[in-house]
Each structure stands twice: as structure tokens, then as C-alpha cells.
Amino acid sequence: MSDAALLLREALGDLKPRTAMVLGSGLGGLTEALSDKQYFAFSELPGFPLSAVSGHEGSVVIGRLAGTPVIMLSGRVHYYEQGDAAAMRVPLEALAALGIEELLLTNAAGSLREDMPPGSVMLITDHINYSGMNPLIGEKSDRRFTGMSQAYDAGLADAMRQASRDLDIQLAEGVYMWFSGPSFETPAEIRMARTLGADAVGMSTVPEVILARFLGLKVAAASVITNFGAGMSQGELGHEETKEMAPIGGRKLAAIVKRLIGEG
Ligand code: HPA
């Protein structure tokens, strides 16, 4: 077990969480709903990556959400920061070593569908790795040939659908396409993404899904829609808009997740 995992195990004590979450833009507030909270900056955990993206400062928060033990990674490190698709490997390995079985990933994304405007929440049912990068490049074991035909766990997806129905919150569904970023897409790229079968575009999550499947974790993922893809609406895209809009869908997704985990 890594030093970081040992440190977290000691902090957990009798708490035995089965579920962990990665909180993307707009979801960070969910840590406030935790009771019996303990907080670690990524910088306190040996080997954890450091992010300098505003709104993404990394921390691990452990505690109980609606009574259920959980570990939250608030903030993540992206491929585009250092060109490292495996940037989140150490944190995800630590979660697996701590006995986490289910990983719930969240992000902010651009919508490719008129019927899924900013403020919507989209359950990710599959993805397209358009970056061509892979966090398992360089991995030596045969486990690198990780199957991705059921990357998103059917049972967890059903639980998300049920939680959103219980709360009467609309949950769209679709395919997330990973662009490396950090520049946004062009209108031509957005038209291409639509043609290729994507419903949303973003700059994260896919490498974490690949790593999580490699580590044997079940995965669920959801996007908060912060904008229409480039060329689908007037004006230029930027990070300010993402940060401004993320809390709108973020509040809905936070409620769904709280319900899901509280029921678990
Ligand atoms: N493109 C890529 N990533 C994003 C977007 C987008 O339109 N919105 C939020 N993250």
C-alpha cells in the first residue's frame, strides 16, 4: 500500500467506504454535505498530483454522506496540465487499495444537443476517446489490455436513474467525447463530434474511467452541462462560463448523488 493510502487508512479508522467520488467543476460544494469530515490537500499525500487549474485545487475529503461512508476527491488533475494521461493514477490506486469498489465521476461538459441546454445533467452511458491518449500506455502487465465494452456499470447507472426519478430531476443520457483541451473545440470539431455519435464534449473523466476499470472499480459518471458546444450558440467559450454555469447543474447532480449514496 502506498504511503498516501496508509495515511488515509489511518484517518478512516473504522469507516469502511465502498464508494468514492471525483468532484468536477460545480460539484465541490458536495463536500459540505459530509459529516465527520476529515480533509487532506493533495499536497499532503505523497505522490498525489498537483493541479493549478482554478476551481480544481485537489483535496481528499472523507466522511459520511447521508450517513454512508464515502471518500471524495474534490478537484482533479487533467491531461492537458502536463500531458500526462495517467495523472490521476496514484489517487485512484489509493482508493482501490482502501477497498473502494464503486467510483462516481463528475465533470462539466459542453452539450451537442439542442434538447440538453446548459443547466442539464447527463448520465454518461459510454464514451469516445478522441484524444488518442491512454493512461495505460507504458503499463507492462497484460492487465493493460483492459476491456471497455462495459466501462459504465449498468447497475450504478440504474441507481442514478432511480435516484433522479425519486427526486423528479431530469437526467439526460449520452455519450461523452474526450478532447484533450485545454483550448475549446472549433465549430467544425463540434459538428464532427455530433456526426460521430457524441452528446457532450469535455476535457476529463475518460482517462479516469480507463484507470478505474484497470483497477477493477465499477464506474458511474455524469456531466453537468455548462454550455452548448462551439458554434451552437453566439459568443466565445471560456473557463469563466464553465465556472459560472457549473453550479446550476451541479446542484441537481449533488442532490442525485446524495440520494444514491444515502440509499446505498
Ligand atoms: N468543451 C470542452 N470541455 C468543456 C466544455 C466544452 O464545450 N464545457 C465544459 N467543459
The predicted-structure confidence for 41-98, as pLDDT tens digits, reads as follows 999 999 999 877 665 568 999 999 999 999 999 988 999 999 999 999 999 999 999 9
Residue 17, all three cell numbers: 467506504
Q: CA geometry: angle at 117 spanning 130 and 52, to 5°?
A: 55
Instruction: Give the CA angle between residues 253, 205, 139 to the nearest 5°.
Output: 150
Q: Is the pLDDT of residue 190 over 60?
A: yes
**Residue 252 exposed, middle or buried by CB count within 10 Å (0-12, 13-18, 19+):** buried
pLDDT at 263 over 70: no
Report the nearest-CA residue for atom 2 of ligand 1: 202
Residues 6+ apart with CB under 8 A from 112: 190, 193, 194, 198, 199, 200, 201, 228, 229, 232
Query: What is the Å distance from ligand 1's center to 173 Cα?
Result: 17
For residue 55, give the CATH number of its domain. 3.40.50.1580
State the burial class of residue 123 (Cβ atoms within 10 Å of its Cβ: 0-12, 13-18, 19+).
Answer: buried
What's the pLDDT tens digit per position in 148-167? 999 999 999 999 999 999 99
Q: Is 114 a catalytic site residue?
A: no
Which of 2-6, 66-70, 242-246 is the least confident region?
Answer: 242-246
Q: Name the domain count of the chain.
A: 1
230 C-alpha vs ligand 1 centroid, how far in Å? 9
**Coil, helix or strand at residue 151:** coil
Relative to the CA of 179, which ligand 1 atom is closest?
Answer: 2
pLDDT at 214: 98
Q: Which of 39, 124, 133 lies closest to 87 in space, CA to CA?
A: 133
Residue whose CA is closest, atom 7 of ligand 1? 110
CB of 77 closer than 8 Å to CB of 181: no
Banded model confidence at residue 183, pLDDT cuts 50, 70, 90: very high
Q: Is 127 a catalytic residue?
A: no
Spell out the residues 6+ positions from residue 260 whose beta carbon is closer than 8 angstroms to its own: 104, 159, 160, 163
What pLDDT, on a 0 to 100 scale, did the predictor assign at position 264? 56
CA angle 118, 201, 173 (to 5 degrees): 65
What is the residue range of 225's domain?
A: 3-263
Catalytic pick among 20, 25, 102, 159: 25
- Could you give the CA distance from residue 239 to residue 162 in angstroms, rounded to a whole number? 32
Q: Mean pLDDT lowest for which of 29-33, 52-56, 105-109, 158-162? A: 52-56
What is the C-alpha separation between 123 and 125, in angstroms, rounded?
A: 6
pTM of the model: 0.96
